[in-house]
Every structure is written in structure tokens, then in C-alpha cells.
Amino acid sequence: MQNKGKYYMTTAIAYTSGKPHIGNTYEIILADAIARYKKAEGYDVYFQTGTDEHGQKIQEKAEAAGITPKEFVDEVAGEVKRIFDQMNTSYDNFVRTTDEDHENCVKKIFKKLYDKGDIYKSSYEGLYCTPCESFWTESQLVDGKCPDCGREVKPAKEEAYFFKMSKYADRLIDHINTHPEFIQPVSRKNEMMNNFLLPGLQDLCVSRTSFSWGIPVDFDPKHVVYVWLDALTNYITKIGYDPDGSSELFNKNWPADLHLIGKDIVRFHTIYWPIFLMALDLPLPKQVFGHPWLLQGGDKMSKSKGNVIYADDMANLFGVDATRYFVLHEMPFENDGVITWELVVERFNSDLANILGNLVNRTVSMSNKYFDGIVKSTGVTDSFDEDLKSVVTGTKAKVAEKMDKLRVADAITAVFDLFRRCNKYIDETTPWVLAKDEASKDRLAEVLYNLTESITIGASLLHSFLPETAERIAKQLNTTLREFDDLEKFGLYESGTKVTETPEILFARLDAKEIMPKVEEIQAAQKAEYEAEQRKLNGEEAPAEAEAVIDIEAKEEISYDDFAKMQFQIGEIIACEAVPKSKKLLCSQVKIGSQVKQIVSGIKAHYTPEEMVGKKVMVLVNLKPAKLAGVISEGMLLCAEDAEGNLALMTAEKPMPSGAEIC
């Protein structure tokens, strides 16, 4: 395959204020599909993602949790990377803005821009949105609130360094006008021009003194670098840019071919970032694509609304490739997409189980039933064959045309159109009828060969989007995925190959009645977690840490009536996390029948939070609520303790439902 040259692409780096929901994770899945496709085409791809870890919001969250900002971002960045890895993304570099090399380079960049006269010291008085890390004027507010996120803003006045944005505004306007591909979709370009550039740019605040969690300004250490100058420069610092001399990796890959970002941060990437690059005398990225949002039931996802869907929850219920398929297929090019649990089940059954899974299963099963698994081309053709071959060999061009425009949803639809055509071909050729006539045996063999070859080409095209599924299909057909240059050729599947004897069910149909109770458990745990977070933020005092281990010394005898006052039930642990500021405590969300209780237990030395989830345990449910290390506990998990102090949770001998009474 001919090498088409380098292709450097990035996602926005995820802000480490909390666990990324499916709308955030969609971006890395989308980027991965593009990166895999570009590699298949023959490009030398370098794919970078990571986490944005500085700022006032993170400092405040860390303080509320009782830990240092570095401890806070270490935990969240680990969670972000875990989810990205679970989604089978093929990034080349996972960056963190707390990396030493990045921080050192940002200091140099700031000093270079200051020495050049593009940064100057002054003071700022205006309105500040902490979640967005943005300053606003009164006229820019919408209904008195932040125009980006709709949250409250607070008056702020402080000494700061500013960047002379207006110095480069005309040059940027000219670049946008002469490079129509620079901002995509076009609607984003129009928004930036009409709402920000043409009315005139204000100078940008690029340092803060009211908090300390940031990269210090070398020559004025009471200032920390404003988060956007810090975060945006990762695209160059982490591939080896240095004002004193850049690396071979940087010289090879810059300018970026694609910055893939959410539509809410287009302004930062198409106005601030290009101007920073102009000031550094560096070329601008070739394209910034602002993808739309994925909305939960038509609404923006928010933990406060209790409607957040997380990628790992989806993957646990449906599988990784089913999760990838949904977000890639359902997200329009320009408008926001919608996700609901019910819609995921519907797409899973209609597209993955029926169109694709059933097709592969039927084809492999018929090959085994009629020819002992041997797939052989006999050359006995029919009029139906040519149309099938035309659709199959023409799909590569359709996918290429869509992917060139980053219309990923349309590209994956084109691949599934190929599979739909295969299903229609089965209906047209009726293999089960051909099998009844010995004279039609060669024709039947050709039909199954055509199906096997078509599925092989389809799976090869599917690999960029659903890599594990594509490889599983190829394994069942006892072949390898086809090279990109061969996807317009029909007949390369080796005649006489034997397919697997036992076809694997790629996607078994789901029953919504079985899925939705599991979803309700996830939502209940999420609401309980949010309420617990709010209690922490409300500053409830933490009493002395209490032991949750049952004392086994002899106690005073009690009557049967005393014992009867205690209510014991089976509980299922649906979520668990370590209690901040505690070395001993775990906080579990325990489903007991139709309710969920939050229970704090002193068993951290014996169980990890991950081990706890899914266990069915014995619970004292009517224990008076108490606060342990600042966290409300609404019951007690029963444990056994041996002479060495080892603990074991008490569980039922036989499977019992959540809520079953212990008597």
C-alpha cells in the first residue's frame, strides 16, 4: 500500500473535574474511527488525546474532597484513561497537562510571548464563570448568566497578564476566508466570524492570581498561567515543540491535520489557538471540526438531573462495539444526537443482532449444513449476483467519500447498507430451496461463496468503526480482513476454505424488560452518589472516624424482643467508592428491594471498591443513620472476623434476590 504521508490528529483533552459521560467519550470513539480509517487508507497517523488538569474548578473540587489537586487529578485522569482504553481506542499518546515536560514548555512559551510584547500586565474587573474558566462582560451574558454553560457568574477583580488578541485578528479573519476547510461544519465558521471576530476581539486574560493550581509564571510566580493557554498548547508541547529547538516528531507532524473537538469549545480552538500559533510563528492546523453534542433524551446530560449515561455502564450492558456503534451511527454531522437506553436496545436488536449478526450466523450455518463448512466458487451465476457484487465493490468509494468529509455516521450506514444487500440476496436466491435440488448444488455453492466474500469485504470496511466485531467475523470465515486497496475487488476469498464449525453469536437479541431494571439500578446508584457529593459540598463536619468492624467480645444478653427489632435483608452492592480523608472506609450504594441505601464500612483494607460491586451481602437495614468521616451511613454490612483481624462479608449460601429477608 502506498504511504500517503503523515496525519496528525487530536481530540480536545478531557477536563479532569469528574468522570467523563458518554457525550464526552463519544469524541474519543469518533476520533478513533477516523484514525483507524486513515491508517487503513495508508496514512502515517499520530493520534493524541489526554487530560486537562489545571484550574480553579479543580482546586475547589479537591478542597471539597479533602485532598490535594494533584491527588484529585491523578484519580480522575486514571478513570478517563481507563474508559478510553475500555472503548478500544488506538491513541498514540495520552497527555496530561501536569506532565513536567508540558509545564516546562508552557513556561517558555509564556515568556517568549511576553518578551515579544504580545503579553502585558494589567488588571481585570468583570464577571467570571468558574466551570468554563471564562471572563465575560455584562453585555455578553445571557439572562445574566454564562453564555456558554448557563451557570451563575461572579464578579472578579484581580491583577493579570493579557494577550493582545486584536493584533492578530485581521490576519486570522483573512486565513478563515481563504481556507474554507479550516472550520467545519460551516455553521461553526459563521458563528465565530459573526459573533466574535467581526465585532472585534478583546484582549484575553492569560494569567490568574486568585488561585494557585496552575503552571506558575516563571518571572512572576504569584501568577499561574490561564487554563486555555496551558491546555491548548498541549497539541504542540506533547509532540516535542520547544521555543529553544523542537523535536523530530514535532517537525514531522505539525501542523495538525485535524483538531476534533466539541462544538462548545470551537471559539477557543478557532480564535485563541490560531492567534497563539501566529504569535509563535507556527503554521495553523489544517482543520478544526466542532462535532455536535449527544443529548440524553433531547436534554444535555447533567449529574444534577440524574440523566447521565456513562460509556462503561453501556459497555457492561451491551458490549464495547455495540456502544461504539450507537454513538457513531446516531450522531448527525451537524445537529445534536439523542441517546436513550430504550433507543440503544432498539438499535442493538434491529441493526447489530438482526442485520449483521443474523447475516453472519445464517451464512456460516448454511455453509456447514450444506457443504460441511467448505466455501467454494463454482462459477454458476445468476442475474442477482451482478447487482450484489456492484453494491459490495462500490461500498468502499461511498465510505471514502463520507469519511473525507468526516461524515462518520453516513459512512457506517453505507457499510450496513452492504449487509442489508446481503440479506436481500439471501431472500432472492433462497438457498434453502436450492438445497432441495441436487442439480442446483453448484449454484447453492456459488451463492454461499458470494455471501462469504461480501461479508469479508463488509467486515474489512467495518473494522475502523467496530474493530473487535470485524475481527470476530473474519475468524468465523477463517480468513483475514482485506487490505484497503483490495476492497473494490470481488472474488479474493480463497475457494475451498472451511469456515468455523460452530458459528458464534455476534449480538444476541436483548429484551428491554430485562435491561431496564438494570438501568434503574444504575440510575439509583448515580442519584445516591450525586446526593452524597452534595452533602460533602455543603460542608457537613466530619466526626472522628468510626470503626465499622463488629466487636466480637461478649456483650450483654438481649431478649428475643430486642432481637426482633433488628431488620436484616439481602442487599446487592451496585456502586462503591473509597471515602475521602479515610484510610479505612468504603462507601457502598446497596440495593435492597426497591430502595438504595448508602452504607459506610471499615473494610477498605480487605476489599477494593471494584471487588465490592455486584456482591450480595447481609445488611442490617434499620440501623439509625450516622455520619462516618463526614459521610452518612444508613445501615451496616455484616462481616466475620478471624483471630488475625481478617474480614469476610457475610453472604447467602444460595442465590437470593435483593431484598430477601433474613430471619
For residues 76-99, give the mean pLDDT. 97
Nearest CA to 213 out of 326, 408, 63 is that of: 63
Cα 206 from chain centroid?
29
Q: Convert 360-390 into a string of H (helix), E (strand) and C (coil).
A: HHHHHHHHHHHHCCEECCCCCCCHHHHHHHH
User: End-to-end alpha-carbon separation of the chain, Å?
Assistant: 71
Q: With 90 as the cut, is the pLDDT of residue 448 above it?
A: yes
Using CA atoms, how far apart are residues 415 and 396, in angstroms rounded to an integer?
A: 8
Residue keyed to cell 511576553: 114
Nearest CA to 207 out of 123, 265, 117 is that of: 123
DSSP state of 203: P
Q: With 70 as the cut, is the pLDDT of residue 543 above it?
A: no
User: What local confidence, expressed as pLDDT, does residue 539 receive?
Assistant: 57
**pLDDT by residue (tens digit) across 409-443?**
999 999 999 999 999 999 999 999 999 999 999 99
Candidate from 117-121, 475-479, 643-647, 656-660 with smallest mean pLDDT: 643-647
- CATH 3.20.20.80 assigned to domain 526-662? The reply is no
- Burial profile 71-105: b = 16 or more Cβ within 10 angstroms, e = fewer: ebbbbbbebbbebbeebbbebeebbbbbbeebbeb
Candidate from 265-279, 294-308, 610-624 with smallest mean pLDDT: 294-308
Confidence tier at 12 by pLDDT (50, 70, 90): very high
Residues facing residue 120 across a β-bridge: 162
Using CA atoms, how far apart are residues 208 and 217, in angstroms rounded to an integer?
A: 10
**pLDDT by residue (tens digit) across 45-75?**
999 999 999 999 999 999 988 999 999 999 9
- CB contact set of 337 (below 8 Å; sequence gap of 6+): 292, 293, 294, 295, 327, 330, 331
User: What local confidence, expressed as pLDDT, does residue 149 receive?
Assistant: 80
Counting Cα atoms < 13 Å in the Cβ hemisphere of 291 gives 30
In contact, 275 and 165? CB cutoff 8 Å: yes
Nearest CA to 171 out of 285, 284, 254, 264 is that of: 284
Higher pLDDT among residues 44 and 557, named by residue:
44
Q: Is 160 helix (H, G, I), strand (E, B) or coil?
A: strand
In contact, 235 and 198? CB cutoff 8 Å: no
Higher pLDDT among residues 527 and 549, named by residue:
527
Q: Is 614 helix (H, G, I), strand (E, B) or coil?
A: coil
**pLDDT by residue (tens digit) across 132-152?**
777 788 888 888 898 878 889
Q: With 70 as the cut, is the pLDDT of residue 536 above it?
A: no
Residues in the chain: 663
Confidence tier at 263 by pLDDT (50, 70, 90): very high
**pLDDT by residue (tens digit) across 323-381?**
999 999 988 887 888 889 999 999 999 999 999 999 999 999 999 999 999 999 999 99
Fold of 340-498: Isoleucyl-tRNA Synthetase; Domain 1 (1.10.730)
In contact, 350 and 307? CB cutoff 8 Å: no
Residue keyed to cell 450525586: 530
Q: Which three cell numbers stand for residue 227?
A: 487554563
Residues facing residue 639 across a β-bridge: 649
User: What local confidence, expressed as pLDDT, does residue 556 receive?
Assistant: 59
Q: Is 325 helix (H, G, I), strand (E, B) or coil?
A: helix
- CB contact set of 351 (below 8 Å; sequence gap of 6+): 325, 329, 416
Candidate from 68-82, 187-201, 634-648 with smallest mean pLDDT: 634-648
Using CA atoms, how far apart are residues 465 and 55, in angstroms rounded to an integer?
A: 35
User: What local confidence, expressed as pLDDT, does residue 542 receive?
Assistant: 39
Q: What is the residue type of 25? A: T
User: What local confidence, expressed as pLDDT, does residue 94 receive?
Assistant: 98
Candidate from 19-33, 92-106, 298-312 with smallest mean pLDDT: 298-312
Residues facing residue 208 across a β-bridge: 224
pTM of the model: 0.79
- CB contact set of 430 (below 8 Å; sequence gap of 6+): none
Nearest CA to 270 out of 201, 337, 327, 209 is that of: 201
Q: Is 289 helix (H, G, I), strand (E, B) or coil?
A: strand
Q: Which three cell numbers stand for residue 216?
A: 506558575
CA torsion sign for 527, 529, 531, 534 is negative
Confidence tier at 294 by pLDDT (50, 70, 90): confident
* Radius of gyration of the chain from its Cα atoms, rounded to whole angstroms: 29
Residues facing residue 534 across a β-bridge: none
Candidate from 88-97, 174-183, 259-268, 572-581 with smallest mean pLDDT: 572-581
High-pLDDT (> 70) share of the chain, %: 94
Locate the domains of the chain by residue range.
Answer: 340-498, 526-662
Confidence tier at 644 by pLDDT (50, 70, 90): low
Higher pLDDT among residues 611 and 285, named by residue:
285
Confidence tier at 549 by pLDDT (50, 70, 90): very low
What average pLDDT does the structure give for the chain? 90
User: What local confidence, expressed as pLDDT, does residue 300 receive?
Assistant: 63
Using CA atoms, how far apart are residues 165 and 205, in angstroms rounded to an integer?
A: 10
In contact, 544 and 395? CB cutoff 8 Å: no
Using CA atoms, how far apart are residues 417 and 412, in angstroms rounded to an integer?
A: 9
543 φψ region: left (φ > 0), alpha (ψ -120 to 50), beta (else): beta
Q: With 50 as the cut, is the pLDDT of residue 583 above it?
A: yes
High-pLDDT (> 90) share of the chain, %: 66
In order of 324, 459, 482, the CA distances from 470 in angstroms are: 13, 5, 11
Can you state the angle between helices 467-476 and 320-330, rounded to 10 degrees? 120
